[in-house]
Structure 1
Amino acid sequence: MKRAVIVQAKRTPIGKKDGILRDIQPHELAAPLLQHLADGLEEKIEDIILGNVVGPGGNVARVAALEAGLPLSAAGITIDRQCSAGLEAIRIACYFVQGGAGSCYIAGGVESTSTSPFPARARFSPEKIGDPDMGVAAEFVAEKYAITREMQDEYALLSYTRSWEAYDKGYFHQEIIPIGDFHQDEELLRKRKMEVLLNRAKPIFKKNGTVTAANSCGIHDGASAVLVMEESMAVNHGFQPVLRFLDSEVAGVLPHYPGAAPIPAIQALLKRNSLTIEDIDLIEINEAFSSKIVTCTKELSIPYEKLNVCGGALTLGHPYGASGSIMITRLFYEVQRRKDIKYVLAAIGSGGGIGVAVLFEVAT
């Protein structure tokens, strides 16, 4: 079996909806990433796979590839698995390599909520089952798994602190390709008094609820992508493999509990590979809501010390289709800063009650 490895990873700055990236269309956000990752390999890129959720429709990946000036042969395909789309794009690219369909892909995701033509979200579930908004569903998760407001706020503060520590150390600078004059995540342009905000915030989705604006992610724009290659090809072209794809899993749960969807996906993935949480050195789970993260850590016995160690979407933002790829980009750089890291895992839960989990081993 051929082995798929990630040899490069980058992202744009993340901007607030109607913020610094407000006038940039999805294909324009993605194009600089494609140019960077394809540099010197333009004729070798066999396809571009991008996740996108609220874009203009059509094939954003194809338009971005053309905008980037890539060869016409790099056709491009756009997929939508809601918030899992960017992670799913990488998963697909890895399986293409593993199965021998190709040897070199760019995969990731892009989202411009600022330019989205849709006034409302798409349906997650048929009415006969129930179709709660994600915030309401975050309350459902908190209720079902007995996650208190205090538990959620505690994690939100931890994530915020970690994000700023990572920024101060220059970690995010390693990840980012500037877009025009913008080279920094918009949420990090000004430090907030997070403890005060957490204390003051009121429930926004349910009376007497636990989910607030302070322990939830915002709505954002951004893009991220990685270069996936067959391992021997990567080495022959002078690349150092960093993350080697091992396996992945997709699970479905009741659409009322999307935040819990990573749990069965991670459990099945670990079981099939004869691993436990103790064997995984670093874990990224998308921080759409604190209730989601606290639930996953509680049910899977994940220590905070190995989870989202540089913070995540609660601080930086959640550009839907890009978030899964942003998590892989974060892992790509974090494993290179550490020693004795063997296994890493990324997971995300998304609208409709879908969980995606992907397992890598460190190749360096």
Structure 2
Amino acid sequence: MRDEALTPEARPTMMATPRAGTGDAPVVVAARRTPIGTAGHAFKTVTADRLAAPVIAAVAADVAHLGVPVGDVVLGNCTGPGGNLARVSALAAGLGHEVPGVTVDRQCGSGLAAILLAGQAVRSGEMDLVVAGGAESASTAPLRAHRRPEGEIPVPYERAPFTPEGHPDPDMGPAAEALAAARGVSRERQDAYARRSHARALAAREAGRFAREIVGVGGRDADQRPRALRAASLARLPAAFVPQGTVTAGNSSPISDGAAAVAVVPERLRAAAGLPGLRLLAGAVVGCDPGLPGWGPVPAVRRVLSRAGAGIADVAAVEIVEAFAAQVLAVTDALGLDPLGADDERVCADGGALALGHPWGASGAVVVARLFSRLVTGGAPPGTLGLATAAVGGGLGVAALFEVV
């Protein structure tokens, strides 16, 4: 069910000149990530700060020649142990006692929200260099329990509520089923998209496109999960969340461990150093129906495009956190994108979370690192636009529009 009014009538265009009034705009000038491991496997004993520290250190080293001290570390995280993970990770990365750190929780959008907050600090002139991103270690996340009367055994719970009593608060699997039903996304398309994600991730790894962004952890320097999928095998998988449903383990992302970080500086510093980068043109965090949280990227993307005076046809590269194939397809249908057809090279061209994994607090930063590799490291011309977006439990959407400079 596509919103025809938003369907692009032309292939992506390149903006020939930088936009006016962006002299102090925030620019991403370095981006790194860890390999992503399935929870309980590759990084099963590696805590979130030990995942985050190597990428923070690598990003800081990438921009050390600027001679600008890191002003802050902003790190997204959902299920960690608390204690201001960003501060712990900054110290573990060797940035020094003077670098503070702040931890952000917008659930699956945390990593991207952290980058937007870093951009705001840079745009305001308060800081000249902020390292931002996210980290998640589902493998080592502490178990939580409801407090009980004295003498009674505490009762564990799976997750914190995303909404208060009286509002819908579905788990993400059933929410993906509801969105697929509401937007008419078939099981066949979901399975086809999952196969595409894995195939493209395998091809990107074979071509070395991930190697240039990955910082090894514990001797591992490659993502654990991508594999060849057969249509017949996917078709045999049962519904994972709702009887007779369409969302399965095969077209859903796995619970994962990983981290990603970027360096954000003002445009004046980037230009003086002659560095290529991704200038942040617009960012948005919006709310939507908490019963259909996967819909959040649609209003978020529409808002950032409107603020930037751009259309979806102007965007050359789109990275969306692939929590579920159903959710990706519902969003891309509404935005006028066809990742299984005409927009195969635009949307998650090297695969996404379905193949790589979904470390919740980090995934929003992972998609920015992917944009950086695709557009900046890949040599896209100045003016090329890239879009990053994520859906968030509880009914939120996060999006950011970037321009190659």
Q: Do the two structures share a fold, i.e. TM-score over 0.5?
A: yes
Provide the residue aligned with 1:88 in structure 2.
Answer: 113
Once the two structures are superposed, residues 221-242 of structure 1 have per-residue CA deviations (whole angstroms, 9 ceiling, x without a partner) of 0000001111222344x46131
Name the residue aligned to 2:304.
Answer: 269
What's the counterpart of residue 353 of structure 1? 395
- 2:371 is aligned, of 302, 318, 331, to 331
Deviations 1:102-123 (A, max 9, x none): 1100000000000001351111
CA contact (8 A) 2:198 2:228 kept: no
- Structure 1 spans left out of the alignment, 5+ residues: none
Aligned amino acid, residue 26 of structure 1: A
* CA–CA separation in structure 1 for the residues paired with 2:396 and 2:143: 22
CA contact (8 A) 2:134 2:363 kept: yes
Aligned match for 1:197, one of 216, 233, 258: 233
Letter paired with 1:281: A
Distance 2:233 2:138 in 1: 25
Offset, 1:42: 8.1
Report the Cα distance in structure 2 between the residues aligned to 1:83 and 1:239, rounded to whole angstroms: 34
Q: Paired residue for 1:313? A: 353
SS of 1:175 mapped into structure 2:
coil
| 1:207-246 equivalence runs, <5 A | 207-236=243-272, 238=273, 240-246=275-281
2:167 counterpart of 1:129: yes
Question: Is the 8 Å Cα contact of residues 192 and 231 (structure 2) preserved in structure 1?
Answer: no
Q: Describe the superposition over 1:299-351 as per-residue Cα deviations: whole angstroms up to 9, x where unpaired.
A: 11013221111110001100000001100000101013254461111010010
User: Contact 2:262–2:369 at 8 Å: present in 1 too?
Assistant: yes
The 1-side partners of 2:380 and 2:267 are apart by 21
Query: In the aligned structure 2, how far is the partner of 1:87 from the partner of 1:67?
Result: 22
Q: Which amino acid aligns with 2:162?
A: F
Equivalent residue for 1:12, pick from 34, 40, 51: 34
The residue aligned with 1:46 is 71
Identity %: 41
Task: Provide the rounded CA distance (Å) in 1 between the counterparts of 2:229 and 2:384.
Answer: 37
More off after superposition, 303-312 vs 206-215: 303-312
Q: Distance in 1 between matches of 2:316 and 2:35?
A: 27
Amino acid paired to 1:69: G
- Structure 1 position 255 matched with structure 2 position 270: no
Alignment pair present for 1:60 and 2:82? no
More deviation in 67-76 or 320-329? 67-76
Structure 2 residue matching 1:109: 3-state secondary structure: strand
SS in 2 for 1:90: helix
Superposed displacement of residue 131, structure 1 = 1.2
Alpha-carbon contact 1:42-1:71 (below 8 Å) kept: no
The 1:239–1:111 alpha-carbon spacing in structure 2 relative to 1, beyond 3 Å, is farther
Q: Which amino acid aligns with 2:31?
A: A
| One-letter amino acid of the counterpart of residue 117, structure 2 | I
SS at match of 1:247: strand
Moved more, 297-306 or 320-329: 297-306
User: Residue 209 of structure 2: which of 171, 174, 177 is its match?
Assistant: 171
TM-score using structure 2 length: 0.86
One-letter amino acid of the structure 2 residue matched with residue 275 of structure 1: A
AA partner of residue 28 (structure 1): R
**Normalising to structure 1: TM-score of the pair?**
0.95
* Residues 244, 360 of structure 1: 8 Å contact kept: yes
The answer to whether the 8 A contact 1:42-1:70 is kept is: no
**Size of the alignment, in residue pairs?**
360
SS at match of 2:217: coil
Please tell me whether the aligned partners of residues 54 and 118 of structure 1 are also in contact (alpha carbons under 8 angstroms).
no
**208-217 vs 114-123, greater mean Cα deviation:** 114-123
2:24 maps to amino acid: K
Tell me which amino acid in the other structure corresponds to 1:333: S
Task: Give, in angstroms, the shift of residue 272 of structure 1.
Answer: 2.5
**Structure 1 range deviating more: 172-181 or 123-132:** 123-132
Match of 2:318 in 1: 283
> How far 1:43 sits from its partner (Å)?
6.2
